[in-house]
Structure 1
């Protein structure tokens, strides 16, 4: 009988202790330890670190490479929109463009992109840069996003005499752009010695601008020579 009484007293003590822990957890607004989810792997499939090459421009003398300067974040886009599909890949971090010469042992920095630079693509393969030639200079176009709500951010780089350099856009003597926006449905074209870029389009915009540039070899810039203004319906068909 005495053993039975001792057993009941032990069970009562354990029940009081458990209730006290639960009351304290509720007071702090936190679940009890036994109710907390295992967070050791939470989000690991949603966001990962990535240090891979994100774009390549192949040249007979070497390669242009877009590479991270630190480990960047890679994750699914998450929701379908004009930015892309929910299954698309998005990278965010600090990137730079380097020139990797076939004749040299070290890569040369060409330019650094803005902080928290974003790249969005339908797969995780490196972007193949578009290539064309103007004034004897091999020119590469880097487009970090494959689609956009308004215009595709586009950067140009030249390769000449085994050296690489950024190419700017001179709109006028007081306005220089480091990059340009082009309509996602119409890629830039190099025709008859000039570069033709179809500008972006947004709701309420009356015209779409068609830019005509000529490449200035000495200044390493695309100089705007003329602009056409077309009705959106003439292009967006």
Structure 2
């Protein structure tokens, strides 16, 4: 997953993002030659003067043509990565731009030279889609949503299968390491200016070709992009997962021409989107979710047989191609004795997620204990229900939620697009925003590990929607 991209990954370069002064083919060839020279420079035995001239010449050519940038922590210069070929892609060259600004301007945009200067963001493999497609979707899932492609080919210079949908001005690229291997999950998806498809990310409406900057900022704020020269601009929004090239994935790239969106791509930075095939099994039962604490493991297992199928109809619970796991599921703790012990009396009836991989089980750190939350359904019409489990040196236990009226529940909920958080040793979630509600609500719970309770101690009304996480 974190292996460096192969050399042919950097040759994927054409589309509406391309620079005007040189052709994409020329730039790709130049990058290739520069890379070979740089990799061999340690073996040159020429005199000091000749060597210095060569290095200076290459540095000038590299920075002048490619706008290379040193990402934090890499210790060496690497180019802004280029996504798999698609209708839309960022440039293989980085034109001259003003220095990156540390603070967003009044519009909520901070200026960057290229996408390598953009850090972690809210883009999510689970929630961010382009044309309904997610990173990691299988060919069967894509075919079920979009039908048969108008053209099947191989992305130039790569082993990646490339499906083109001309009627939607849309391309979908699938990952694989070699042409003799079966195709893996979606590596990138992109749309051009003629497309009617949309980028969606937990907020109604999404972003489409022809939208203006104001629409982008409704979904993502602050937003990293190139300086406004009155003609063309590029913007990048990243996820929070480290990629093999030192940046963050997935990444959304948006091109604008004369103030309007002219292309969008969603890309996994060249990493295998589904690096862990299959599902772990414990005592003959598939592990649907797993988390590791300091004293053991939390596991979500079915009580007995489960039925795995597709939703088959789109709704606020998910896409028709999302997976539904039906049965009776419980959370277990496996300590040093190696035997899973159930933590809950009432089973979870079903799970809904975009893939059949192990489901997320994120950690929250409090002063005296760790907690892990589990969301059985990744989407919902209103709020996302979650369970919370505490762990300490004695083992693990489920938290219950005590509200201000004294009522107690096994679960609470969080606004789609946000996550439960630990802030100043309080559990914080957000709600509201639905039809008939006025604004949003911030809920603050005080932990009571001894009583295995999260006690609601404060509610705050908010006018603006909390930012995506």
Same fold (TM over 0.5): yes
In the alignment, the residues of structure 1 paired with residue 446 and residue 345 of structure 2 have an alpha-carbon distance, to the nearest angstrom, of: 25
Contact 2:329 2:350 in 1 (8 A): no
In the alignment, the residues of structure 2 paired with residue 194 and residue 236 of structure 1 have an alpha-carbon distance, to the nearest angstrom, of: 19
Which structure shows the higher strand fraction? 1
Q: TM-score, normalised by structure 2?
A: 0.38
Distance apart, 1:51 and its partner CA: 4.4
Of 392, 395, 420, the residue aligned with 1:188 is 420
In the alignment, the residues of structure 1 paired with residue 334 and residue 346 of structure 2 have an alpha-carbon distance, to the nearest angstrom, of: 17
Distance apart, 1:173 and its partner CA: 6.0
Distance apart, 1:230 and its partner CA: 1.9
Distance apart, 1:94 and its partner CA: 1.0
Distance apart, 1:200 and its partner CA: 4.6
In the alignment, the residues of structure 2 paired with residue 203 and residue 234 of structure 1 have an alpha-carbon distance, to the nearest angstrom, of: 14
Partner of 1:167: 399
Deviations 1:61-117 (A, max 9, x none): 21101100110111101112211111110011111111111x2032211113446x1
Q: TM-score, normalised by structure 1?
A: 0.72
Distance apart, 1:235 and its partner CA: 3.8
Contact 2:296 2:395 in 1 (8 A): no
Q: Is 1:223 aligned with 2:425?
A: no
In the alignment, the residues of structure 1 paired with residue 442 and residue 409 of structure 2 have an alpha-carbon distance, to the nearest angstrom, of: 16
Distance apart, 1:213 and its partner CA: 1.0
List runs of 5+ in structure 2 lacking aligned partners: 1-283
In the alignment, the residues of structure 2 paired with residue 114 and residue 229 of structure 1 have an alpha-carbon distance, to the nearest angstrom, of: 33
Deviations 1:29-83 (A, max 9, x none): xxxxxxxxxxxxxxxxxxxxx9421111111321101100110111101112211
What aligned pairs does 1:201-212 form with structure 2 within 5 A after superposition?
201-212=433-444
In the alignment, the residues of structure 1 paired with residue 341 and residue 421 of structure 2 have an alpha-carbon distance, to the nearest angstrom, of: 28
Distance apart, 1:209 and its partner CA: 1.8
Deviations 1:108-137 (A, max 9, x none): 11113446x110001001112110122311
Partner of 1:155: 387
Contact 1:215 1:221 in 2 (8 A): yes
Q: Is 1:62 aligned with 2:296?
A: yes
Of 337, 340, 343, the residue aligned with 1:110 is 343
Of 345, 363, 366, the residue aligned with 1:131 is 363
In the alignment, the residues of structure 1 paired with residue 290 and residue 432 of structure 2 have an alpha-carbon distance, to the nearest angstrom, of: 25
Contact 1:95 1:112 in 2 (8 A): no
In the alignment, the residues of structure 2 paired with residue 164 and residue 134 of structure 1 have an alpha-carbon distance, to the nearest angstrom, of: 14
Partner of 2:29: none
In the alignment, the residues of structure 2 paired with residue 181 and residue 56 of structure 1 have an alpha-carbon distance, to the nearest angstrom, of: 21
Partner of 1:17: none
Stretch of structure 1 that moved more, 132-141 or 198-207: 198-207
Larger radius of gyration: 1
Partner of 1:7: none
Q: Is 1:140 aligned with 2:372?
A: yes
List runs of 5+ in structure 1 lacking aligned partners: 1-49
Paired residue secondary structure (1:199): strand
Moved segments of 4+, more than 2 Å: 112-115, 233-237
Of 52, 59, 63, the residue aligned with 2:286 is 52
Q: What's the Cα RMSD here?
A: 2.0
